[in-house]
Chain A
């Protein structure tokens, strides 16, 4: 699999939370190459099923979840042809100034988030950041034409093409969490050449950035025996301490904490060791803010794990990952799934390991 070109397509296809249709289409086609079935549910989750070979009915299943949505902008008001907007998901308004965008109106329109030239600004002004509600998009068209082409509630995405950096590093928008989608594709491709007893649901979840909403409903619908969420995590970068981050290009971050079933964490670590795959342990003392957080408490509870893909500059349009890390996550997932046998759930116990009647 050419991961870079897959990531280029995934990253450059728009898919703002709640409006993931285009990227969902792309992902569905990629997953369909390796899966037995692909479908979309009521909230826009794209669900691929790759059947296992296990004989027991109903067959056990594992859900992989990586979110398809990206943060974006939404038009709130149109004033003399200029577009006021707000965020869908969490934007740092400071990264928007002087940015090119695409406004998804009746047709796609190139737009600019304008900044007033420094010449006209008093020095004190330049020391201040500009809040979202003071920014606007200029599409360079006359006001009446804008009113026709753009409506309140239309969306806009930052325009960005993938940049190949030195070595294994690439940068673009929406690697959060399309990098995980690519890792799931790698996993499915790997599984095509392996034996696995369990059914595998690879789920591109919707609306993660606005409250883990697709994960809530897809996990409820699938009711899997196990789940692994894949999301990006903070890679070391200027301005962040080692305690807050994981290292770039040093392998998947296998998360540990209340959100994670410890036995799943341990099995992932064992799997990585057996593959001689580099990995890192990332502590998460509480809320992880990922799909794993929602999935774990679905229905009567689903043992859940979380794998982080190290990423720098999260929620900007220059999110940076190592292609190798993405590929490693895919391989780790596949090898983990291949280990799942009929007795796995029985070994997934807490101390004291008890169940029964007196």
Chain B
């Protein structure tokens, strides 16, 4: 799967600008689904039909990544910018971004006063330098969006890249489509858009699909780094089965189904209580008359920085968990 993962994480696709990553995923899943379509907001929806009267199941992983948007081009050709999704100002200074047209920019700052040296530099003081000599030679304009630029690194068991949130979920979904030979369920694999700016793609795709059960596959934080937040999730201890996050309580039946499946096939798993942040499942859960919803999380360190880290075994075990769940009847 590593080649697939590398390809996905290195593709451009900030929220609202998912055309390229959608194209890449569409090519990867060619022939794996009975139907593939793109909806009004840009969600890529692949359906694998079930044979005998199972449930209508929606699995969602979001294609979009966080990024920056140009808000102003000044007289000298420097770009002021804002955050697309939850960007940490801590991670920006000296970083590089890439626009859809390939333009590369570096992030600089206004003068930092002595008393500000130990403080986070706010976004308002930062700018992007695209190497323009004046305003007229700037190759991008107000409203153009850039993604962060950082190559994929394979450390063996651990992998590092930008945008594991949530390209790793996309990779898990694609691999699940490959490995799932037979299922009684009508399974909708949704590669959603605009999760980072408000779960918007999940809202509209869930409304259209009307699932009987919904799962998001996304990253979660860990508590296993020095002086981390209080959290029981660790890298390499298996996919995390969500109990609660900042905005959703997983359906107890969905949680139980995932736990029982993991135990039945003998893969490690962890239970997840995440205090802040959420996933597409939050939107799916309240779609129409309500959908039993849960989430399979890939533990991930340094989420929303350009160097997110996951454990490869967690990834492959997440695929096994989903495949095993989808092969059997679902009773909630």
Contacts and interface: CB of A to CB of B under 8 A. Distances in A.
Given A88-B249, A153-B271, A220 B232 contact: no
Contacts of A109: none
Given A76-B232, A88-B244, A220 B273 contact: no
Interface string B244-258: 100111111001000
Interface residues of A, number: 29
B43 interface: no
10 contacts: A43-B286, A74-B244, A75-B273, A86-B275, A88-B244, A88-B249, A151-B271, A153-B244, A153-B255, A210-B247
Interface string A322-336: 000000000000000
Contact of A153 (B230, B243, B247, B290): B243
Contacts of B255: 153
B240 to A, nearest CB: 10
Interface of B: 223, 229-232, 243-244, 247-252, 255, 270-273, 275, 285-292
A19 B286 CA distance: 16
Given A74-B244, A151-B271, A216 B286 contact: yes
Nearest to A213: B286
Given A78-B232, A153-B244, A221 B290 contact: yes
B273 A41 contact: no
B289 A220 contact: yes
Interface of chain B: mostly helix, strand, loop or mixed = loop
B288 A220 contact: yes
Contacts of B272: 152-153
A76 B242 CA distance: 12
Residue with the highest number of chain A CB atoms closer than 10 Å, among B223, B249, B291: B249
Interface string A194-230: 0000000000000100110110111011000000000
Contacts of B243: 74, 152-153
A303 interface: no
A42 B55 CA distance: 14
Nearest to B282: A211
Contact of B230 (A77, A213, A216): A77
A152 to B, nearest CB: 4
Residue with the highest number of chain A CB atoms closer than 10 Å, among B230, B271, B287: B230
A17 interface: yes
A77 B285 contact: no
A299 to B, nearest CB: 10
Given A41-B289, A152-B271, A77 B231 contact: yes
A18 interface: yes
A20 B288 CA distance: 21
Nearest to B275: A86
A210 B249 contact: yes
A77 B274 CA distance: 11
A55 B308 CA distance: 63
Contacts of A17: 249
Contacts of B270: 152
Given A18-B250, A74-B244, A76-B232, 18 more contacts: A19-B252, A41-B289, A42-B291, A43-B286, A45-B290, A77-B232, A86-B275, A153-B271, A210-B248, A216-B286, A217-B288, A217-B290, A218-B289, A218-B290, A220-B288, A220-B289, A220-B290, A221-B289
